[in-house]
């Protein structure tokens, strides 16, 4: 994929791979990741989106979030070089 987006959805990833060359935009969406591999040039959470990483691998050059978005990291590999998110809970 080159550009990908999710909007007004619930997304559960247990295994598999999502590889996105450019930008992955998530709007009004709850992502629960219990495994698998997500790689993107950048990830943008907007409009009260949540990312709950239970396990798996996330790799991105950057991640941005609005004040209404949240990121929770429980286990796994979270490799984001430049992150501008205020609501982050990292339990690793």
Name the one residue in this structure whose structure tokens are 């205020």: 86
Domain layout of the chain by residue ranges = 3-78
Is the pLDDT at 2 greater than 90, yes or no? no
Rg over alpha carbons for the chain, rounded to the nearest Å, is: 12
Token readout for 47 is 């409009």
Structure confidence by residue, pLDDT tens digits, 7-23: 888 889 999 998 987 99
Rounded-to-integer distance, Cα 20 and Cα 41, Å: 7
Rounded-to-integer distance, Cα 26 and Cα 17, Å: 17
- Average pLDDT on 62-87 reads 95
CA dihedral 35, 40, 42, 43 (to 10 degrees): -30
* Global confidence as pTM: 0.89
């Amino acid at each position: 994929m080159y550009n990908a987006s999710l909007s007004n959805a619930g997304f559960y990833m247990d295994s598999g791979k999502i590889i996105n060359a450019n930008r992955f935009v998530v709007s009004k969406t709850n992502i629960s990741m219990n495994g698998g591999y997500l790689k993107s040039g950048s990830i943008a959470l907007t409009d009260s989106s949540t990312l709950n990483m239970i396990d798996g691998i996330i790799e991105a050059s950057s991640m941005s979030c609005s004040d209404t978005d949240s990121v929770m990291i429980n286990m796994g590999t979270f490799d984001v070089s430049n992150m501008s998110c205020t609501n982050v809970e990292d339990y690793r």
